Amino acid sequence: MQRTAVTIAALVLLLSGGGAPAIPNPQPGVQATSFSSQIEALSEPGGYFDTDNLISNERSYLEVLPDLRRHGVSGGAYLGVGPDQNFTYIAAVKPAVAFIVDIRRDNMLLHLLFKALFESSRTRVEYLAQLMGRAVPTDLETWRNAPLERIVTHVENAPLDGKSIGALRKRIDEGIGRYGVTLSSEDRATIERFHRRFIDAGLGLRFQSTGRPVQTHYPTYRELLLEKDPDGQSGNYLASEASFQFIKDLQQRDLVIPVVGDLSGPRAVGAVAAHLAARKERVSAFYTSNVEFYLFNSGRFPAFVNNLAKLPRAPKSVIIRSFFQRYAWPGGGSASRLQPVGDLLDGYEKGRFRYYSELMDGAAR
């Protein structure tokens, strides 16, 4: 069974508790915000899975970009699971609002780190340099139209400076503190640990499972950044300044909302559905990775379908999913495909999708 960084968003067997979570009282000196209130109102109790979830291991993640363009999937609301792979799909779809739903509270903490980095970075070269704890170029304007390869080379060759990293960590912590999210000392230590992993490993960072050695067949962060889509285009969200600035704008307007929740659980997806209905927004794209593999194995796929049906959707709404190993084509590794949401719901009702392998037949190619 292939493990993937984003599958932990819906590994339902590990979800603890049920029903609506209690909203904790703000810590002394922490001012609740609309952003933090939304996180609390939409979230379920968190769970655990034995991966770090810092980056994806789906080398195939750009395979769907031409199909997203061809099907005209754009605007509306975006839902996704896992780490920063979502930003590439958000940049492609350009939604009005995005929700990142993950069963682990740690993923919400990771997205607070990303949010703070977006807000403190004027350009994508500054963002990537700060994520990796490397020196930021002084002439930022000359980098706005730089190819991603040049940015990657700069970050790879830029020196580490312990004093500068300390100042960077202080700025990031202060930024996160302004979001009003109630965080324990352990939460703050987790955020720092995540950032230090990026800094220590640099662009050679790979997805890793707890207690297992790093798997060298997983792509490095550098490889994910520089991957090409089937049309030969650089599709990562850091490949163009316009894509970076689009996500930065959403982040600054608190419109990328990390939610702690199980895709087949009792609250989170339904709460997002009610929130979208109140906003009069419809889902355009829902990135599920290969979570359905785990949902089928745990007997929770029907609950996921029921939650999916609650979401207001557009006629062109799609699921973005990935398959691994024997389920992937042309064989091995991962494969990423689209399926219209309506086709999945209608097909399930008619008995077409009773086994995980049948989802491959429903995926658009």
Give the integer Cα–Cα distance in Å for 151 and 161.
19
Indicate the pLDDT class of residue 46, thresholds 50, 70 and 90.
confident
Residue 28 has pLDDT above 80, yes or no: no
Upstream peptide bond of 159 is cis (omega within 30 degrees of 0): no
* Average pLDDT, integer, range 99-126: 96
Q: Which residue has the higher pLDDT, 98 or 15?
A: 98
Q: What are the tokens at 64?
A: 């769907």
Residue 2 has pLDDT above 50, yes or no: no
Give the integer Cα–Cα distance in Å for 258 and 42.
9
Backbone torsions φ then ψ of 79, nearest 5 degrees: -120, 145
HSE-up (13 A, CA, CB side) for residue 158: 26
Judge if pTM exceeds 0.85: yes
Residue 365 has pLDDT above 60, yes or no: no
User: What percentage of residues in the chain have a pLDDT greater than 90?
Assistant: 78
Q: State pLDDT tens for residues 79-103.
A: 999 999 999 999 999 999 999 999 9
Give the integer Cα–Cα distance in Å for 210 and 215.
12
Give the integer Cα–Cα distance in Å for 248 and 115.
8
Give the integer Cα–Cα distance in Å for 138 and 143.
10
Nearest CA among 89, 81, 84 for reference residue 63? 89
State the pLDDT at residue 27: 46
Indicate the pLDDT class of residue 52, thresholds 50, 70 and 90.
confident
State the pLDDT at residue 336: 95
* Average pLDDT, integer, range 108-134: 97
Residue 262 has pLDDT above 50, yes or no: yes
Where are any strands of DSSP class E within 34-119? 77-80, 97-102
State the pLDDT at residue 306: 98
Indicate the pLDDT class of residue 50, thresholds 50, 70 and 90.
low
* Average pLDDT, integer, range 199-203: 97
Where are any strands of DSSP class E within the chain? 77-80, 97-102, 256-260, 283-289, 313-324, 334-340
Residue 275 has pLDDT above 90, yes or no: yes
Indicate the pLDDT class of residue 14, thresholds 50, 70 and 90.
very low
State the pLDDT at residue 196: 97
Indicate the pLDDT class of residue 329, thresholds 50, 70 and 90.
low
* Average pLDDT, integer, range 265-279: 97
Please report, for residues 31, 34, 43, 126, the alpha-carbon distance to residue 27 in angstroms, rounded to integers and kept in the order given.
8, 16, 18, 32
Domain ranges of the chain: 7-362
Backbone torsions φ then ψ of 18, nearest 5 degrees: -160, 170
Q: State pLDDT tens for residues 215-236.
A: 778 899 999 999 999 999 999 9
